[in-house]
Amino acid sequence: MLFRSTPRRFGWSLLLLALCVRMLAVWVLRDPTQFHGFEMGQDGYHYDELARSLLAGDGYELAGEPSAFRAPGFPLFLALVYALSAKSYFAAYFSLCLLGALTVYCTWRAGSLLAGERTGRVAGLLMALYPPHVYMATIFASENLFTALLAAFLLLAAQRRAPAAGLCLGALILTRPFALLALPLLLLACWRSGERRLGAWLFAGTLVCLLPWTVRNQLALEHPVLITTSGGPTFRGSYNDRVLLEERHRGGWVASDQLPGWTQLQAASGELERDRLQWQWGRDWLSEHAEELPRLLWWRLCRFWMPDRDSENRSYVLLQWFGTTPFLLLLAAGIVWHLRTGPRDARWWMADSLMLACLATALIFWGAPRFRDGNAPILMLYAALPLAALLNRFNKPAQQVGST
């Protein structure tokens, strides 16, 4: 029935389905009137603190000091929600559910333009039900905003709305900085396909978004910081004895307070010094264990494509394995399908470039399923390709995209 309905009816049905599924997950797993920010370590706590600091007029501060430890995209979004809702956590959770629903909608629309209406509808339905993305709505994670911006970017690029796509890419980078790695690939794809106007706007939009934040960092920290000072802790946590020797952490990441040198980090003069020290310690370890790099890369690659198994919550791990594995198998088939027969125009390269940048981040740092699922709109587009082709064998093609 959904595949035969008009695009308008399908769009509203998809939005409602995605929103209800995410609100149900929040209702079952959380008390939406309370803060539950510790499910992902300090990330959620920091986002909440930064948003409240902004709202109080104290600036972008952690522990009362100017900071660039977290990328500003999600804290700015959260501060806006708090400002409009009298600092309501219920409003924050509802906004995350709404972001998830909008992500699903944009995934459908982008998929329809890239690979046909039926593929878009399959991608939208997969996105609406993909367990890791549903779970995101229950945690204060930057991936909530990132996936929405990513789906919007794919849609804007597919529609060739170059200025808006450029600004959206800049916002993506300010939310999850790894997306900056995709910029050279995106520009190359635009140049080779003749989409040079789009490429120029992608570069300009990135510059417009990053420049004010970089200038702010220079003024507040008295040091040039492009986006964040969290690279050192991430790098050092990815290159140490524990990720090499302990089975649970192989190819993963270990927090700074669980590694040697924590006392020295606490005594450091600030986050810039802590960032510098941990970059140095990570490089030192890597130079001493260079022969182990192939093993680390293999473990990271495996972690990246496997369901999340790091949690101590056994029910969560079981849900990941049994709920996510069917999607990952379909994704594997979709990637093979895309490599063999998929379109090769510049608009598809938008998705491919961002996916390659995410994979590069996992190999350079650590192979977190969280990094993979931040690209869920792209993953579900890949997964939809063979499934839509199978449906096309038994049914007439769905209606082409109309006005929604």
Does residue 382 sit within a domain?
yes
pLDDT band at 345 (very low <50, low <70, confident <90, very high): low
Percent of the chain with pLDDT over 90: 80
How many alpha carbons fall within 13 Å on the CB side of residue 2?
17
Above 50 in pLDDT, residue 401? no
CB burial of residue 368 (10 Å; 0-12, 13-18, 19+): buried
Q: Residue 374 in contact with residue 313, Cβ under 8 Å?
A: no
Which stretch of 106-115, 136-145, 225-234, 364-373 has the lowest confidence by average pLDDT? 364-373
Assigned token pair, 389: 């082709």
Q: What SS3 state is found at 303?
A: helix
Calpha distance 294→11 (Å, rounded): 45
Q: Residue 335 in contact with residue 359, Cβ under 8 Å?
A: no
Above 60 in pLDDT, residue 397? no
Q: Residue range 215-232: average pLDDT?
A: 95
Calpha distance 94→362 (Å, rounded): 30
Q: What is the pLDDT of residues 297-331, one digit of tens each?
A: 999 999 999 988 777 777 778 888 889 999 999 99
What CA dihedral angle connects 67, 72, 74 and 76, to 10 degrees? 90
Calpha distance 158→135 (Å, rounded): 28
What does the DSSP 8-state code read for residue 396? P
Assigned token pair, 124: 């939208």
Does residue 299 sit within a domain?
yes
Does residue 387 sit within a domain?
yes
pTM of the model: 0.94
Does residue 1 sit within a domain?
no
Beta bridge partners of 155: none
Number of domains in the chain: 1
Instruction: Give the mean pLDDT of the chain.
Output: 92
Q: Which pLDDT score, from 0 to 100, does residue 403 have?
A: 45
pLDDT band at 402 (very low <50, low <70, confident <90, very high): very low
Above 90 in pLDDT, residue 153? yes
Parent domain of 300: 7-394
Q: Residue range 34-55: average pLDDT?
A: 89
Angle at 233 between CA 77 and CA 251, to 5 degrees: 105
Distance, CA of 104 to chain centre? 14
Does residue 399 sit within a domain?
no
Q: What is the pLDDT of residues 244-277, one digit of tens each?
A: 999 989 999 999 999 999 999 999 989 999 999 9
Does residue 404 sit within a domain?
no
Does residue 116 sit within a domain?
yes
Q: Residue range 351-373: average pLDDT?
A: 92
Query: At residue 61, what are phi and psi to the nearest 5 degrees?
Result: -130, 145
Q: Which pLDDT score, from 0 to 100, does residue 38 have?
A: 73
pLDDT band at 404 (very low <50, low <70, confident <90, very high): very low
Q: What's the per-residue H, E or C state across the chain?
A: CCCCCCHHHHHHHHHHHHHHHHHHHHHHHCCCCCCCCCCCCCHHHHHHHHHHHHHCCCCCEECCEECCCCCCHHHHHHHHHHHHHCCCHHHHHHHHHHHHHHHHHHHHHHHHHHHCHHHHHHHHHHHHHCHHHHHHCCCCCCHHHHHHHHHHHHHHHHCCCHHHHHHHHHHHHHHCHHHHHHHHHHHHHHHHHCCHHHHHHHHHHHHHHHHHHHHHHHHHHCCCCCCCCCHHHHHHHHCCHHHHHCHHHCCCCCCHHHCCCHHHHHHCCCHHHHHHHHHHHHHHHHHHCHHHHHHHHHHHHHHHHCCCCCCCCHHHHHHHHHHHHHHHHHHHHHHHHHHHHCCCCHHHHHHHHHHHHHHHHHHHCCCCHHHHHCCHHHHHHHHHHHHHHHHHHHCCCCCCCCCC
Q: Residue 240 in contact with residue 285, Cβ under 8 Å?
A: yes
Above 80 in pLDDT, residue 400? no
Does residue 118 sit within a domain?
yes
Calpha distance 181→148 (Å, rounded): 19
Beta bridge partners of 66: 61
